[in-house]
Amino acid sequence: MKALVYQGPGQKDWVEKDKPEIQKPTDVIVKVTKTTICGTDLHILKGDVPAVTPGRTLGHEGVGVVEAVGSAVQNFEPGDAVLISCVTSCGKCDNCKRQLYAHCADGGWILGHLIDGTQAEYVRIPHGDNSLYPIPEGADEEALVMLSDIMPTGLEIGVQYGNVKPGDTITIIGAGPVGMSVLLTAQFYSPGRIVMIDMDPARLELAKQFGATDTIQVGVGDPVAQIMEMTGGRGVDVAIEAVGVPATFDICQKIVSAGGNIANVGVHGKSVELHIEELWIKNINISMGLVSTNTTPMLLKMLANSKVNPGRLVTHRFALDDILTAYDVFGNAAREKAMKVILNA
């Protein structure tokens, strides 16, 4: 079979590889029908995630059809259509019992990281019973691919950790696929005002179509001054960071209101300066974390009832064989006006 393989920093290839086989009784082999590329894959290719070693197949998102199941698998059989979660979980360990699947004792984010991932014709999913979801009849499969990672990330780490409430004024910094997922899922809780911040005017325009009430373009406007003016000097109830650099976490610290929340979603490679001398008196909360995908069942219901349409995030489609072109487009997102790309096997 063919697979997109990491060959060391800056190097990737679409190569012939052995088809994965059942290794443990709880494994499921899935024939991938649709997958995508995540910003995290670009981080890996830059060499930012040294745990990924040369020869690893990338990818942690997708949908497919069950090809084979291990002897202990109870929920799936060959031919079943499934959604693949980016987080693998046994469902039995202490952390899984608290729905903290990100920290499963025999799982977590391992796909396309510590084991071979979904950017291939076939993928082995450990603990298939708990790490796969049946695809509802007639579902929009492109929209479902958004439920592998970005939608639960936005909902869990941005919206739920940030405790977004009806009527709140919230700010989302970063209008990439993850920030957009925060924007879509925040609306489940009816915030009064949603201010989106980015430097890319095309992404801000899209954010308005997706429900942002206000936008601020970094480099043109001054986000802190503008937010303070908008809120009568009060600041925002929830400041959500969806970029992963010190500058944007710093904006969150300056715009959070008394009693508010800073929810950090971005993956950071550098330390940030925590202004505890300003913040201690403000009764705020700061949260951060890795997605657990424990909200996937809720998102599946929202999708089935047309309460959210993450398929709108898809801007480009390619054949799986053209994945190197898809990487080029996704890696130049501003130039290509790309948000999410779909690869069809």
Ligand X SMILES: NC(=O)c1ccc[n+]([C@@H]2O[C@H](COP(=O)([O-])OP(=O)(O)OC[C@H]3O[C@@H](n4cnc5c(N)ncnc54)[C@H](O)[C@@H]3O)[C@@H](O)[C@H]2O)c1
Nearer to ligand X by C-beta: 323 or 333? 333
Pair 72, 20: CB distance under 8 Å: no
What is the closest distance, in whole angstroms, from the C-beta atom of residue 153 to ligand X in the complex? 4
Q: What is d(CA 329, CA 336) in angstroms, rounded to the nearest whole number? A: 6
Q: Which residues contact 294 (CB under 8 A, 6 or more apart)?
A: 99, 100, 101, 152, 156
Per CB under 6 A, which region of 12-20, 55-63, 75-83, 197-205 contacts ligand X?
A: 197-205
CB under 8 Å, gap of 24 or more: what pairs does 91-100 form? 91/127, 91/129, 91/130, 96/130, 99/292, 99/294, 100/292, 100/294
Sole residue written with tokens 């130049």: 332
Pick what 20 binds: Zn ion, ligand X, none; C-beta below 5 to 8 Å, kind-dependent: none
Which position among 45, 82, 159, 243 is part of the footprint of ligand X (CB under 6 A)? 243
78-107 footprint of ligand X as x/- string (CB under 6 A) = ------------------------------
Nearer to ligand X by C-beta: 169 or 248? 248
Strands (E), 73-185: 81-84, 122-125, 132-134, 169-173
Strands (E), the chain: 2-6, 12-16, 28-36, 62-69, 81-84, 122-125, 132-134, 169-173, 193-198, 214-217, 236-241, 256-264, 285-288, 314-319, 340-344
Tell whether residue 38 is a contact of Zn ion (CB under 5 A).
yes
Pick what 104 binds: Zn ion, ligand X, none; C-beta below 5 to 8 Å, kind-dependent: Zn ion
Nearer to Zn ion by C-beta: 142 or 149? 149
Which position among 148, 248, 293, 294 is part of the footprint of ligand X (CB under 6 A)? 248
Nearer to ligand X by C-beta: 73 or 197? 197
Tell whether residue 129 is a contact of Zn ion (CB under 5 A).
no
Which position among 22, 93, 228, 267 is part of the footprint of ligand X (CB under 6 A)? 267
Nearer to Zn ion by C-beta: 148 or 261? 148
Pair 222, 240: CB distance under 8 Å: no
How far CA 160 is from CA of 75, 149, 177, 238, 255, in Å, comes to 29, 15, 18, 11, 19
Q: Rounded to 5 degrees, what are φ and ψ at 145? A: -60, -30
Pick what 128 binds: Zn ion, ligand X, none; C-beta below 5 to 8 Å, kind-dependent: none
Sole residue written with tokens 């890696």: 331
Pick what 93 binds: ligand X, Zn ion, none; C-beta below 5 to 8 Å, kind-dependent: Zn ion
What is the closest distance, in whole angstroms, from the C-beta atom of residue 255 to ligand X in the complex? 13
CA torsion sign for 145, 103, 295, 20 is: positive
What is the closest distance, in whole angstroms, from the C-beta atom of residue 176 to ligand X in the complex? 2
Sole residue written with tokens 């670009």: 42
Q: Which residue is nearest to ligand X (CB)?
A: 176
Pair 116, 5: CB distance under 8 Å: no
Pick what 174 binds: Zn ion, ligand X, none; C-beta below 5 to 8 Å, kind-dependent: ligand X
Pair 30, 64: CB distance under 8 Å: yes
139-178 footprint of ligand X as x/- string (CB under 6 A) = ----------x---x---x---------------xxxxxx
Tell whether residue 135 is a contact of Zn ion (CB under 5 A).
no
What is the closest distance, in whole angstroms, from the C-beta atom of residue 90 to ligand X in the complex? 19
User: Which residue, 32, 104, 264, 179, is CA-closest to 114?
Assistant: 104
Which stretches of the chain bind Zn ion, using CB under 5 A?
A: 38, 40, 89-90, 93, 96, 104, 149
Which stretches of the chain bind ligand X, using CB under 6 A?
A: 39-40, 149, 153, 157, 173-179, 197-200, 203, 218, 242-245, 247-248, 265-267, 290-291, 333
